[in-house]
Amino acid sequence: MAKKLCALLLCAALVLVLLAETRAYSEGLPSTHLQQGNLQMHGITHGSLRPQECGPRCTARCSATSYKKPCMFFCQKCCAKCLCVPPGTYGNKQVCPCYNNWKTKRGGSKCP
C-alpha cells in the first residue's frame, strides 16, 4: 500500500512539474517575428536569425566603431552561437540573453 501511495505521489509531482514547465515554455519563449509597434523584431530575439543573416546584422552592429575587424570577428562568432544580434550599434544586449551572457575568462562581455 505504501509503495502505491509513493508512486502515486511521485506521478502527481511529475505531472505538476510538467505542467509548470509547459506553461513557462509557452509564455517565455520569444516569437521569431514579434511586433513592437511597426518595428519587426526578426533577428533581434534569441535564435531568430539564420546563420547566413549574421554578416549583414554584424555589419550594422559594428558600423560606428573604429575597431571594425575585431568587432566583426566577435560579433559573427557570437551570432553563430546565439543566432541573434542586438539592435543598434551599442547596448541593447538584454534582448539577446545568450549574446549578453557569453563572457571572456576575465568576466568581460565577449560579444560587442
Q: What is the pLDDT of residues 65-78, one digit of tens each?
A: 999 999 999 999 99
Percent of residues, the chain, with pLDDT higher than 70? 59
Predicted pLDDT at 48? 72
The alpha-helical segments, DSSP class H, found in the chain are 2-28, 54-61, 68-82, 97-101
Q: Is the predicted pLDDT of residue 37 greater than 90, yes or no?
A: no
CA pair distance 89, 8, nearest whole angstrom: 55
> Higher pLDDT residue, 56 or 26?
56
CA pair distance 47, 112, nearest whole angstrom: 17
List the single range of 39-43, 57-61, 70-74 with lowest mean pLDDT.
Answer: 39-43
Whether the Cβ atoms of residue 65 and residue 89 lie closer than 8 Å to each other: yes
Predicted pLDDT at 1? 75
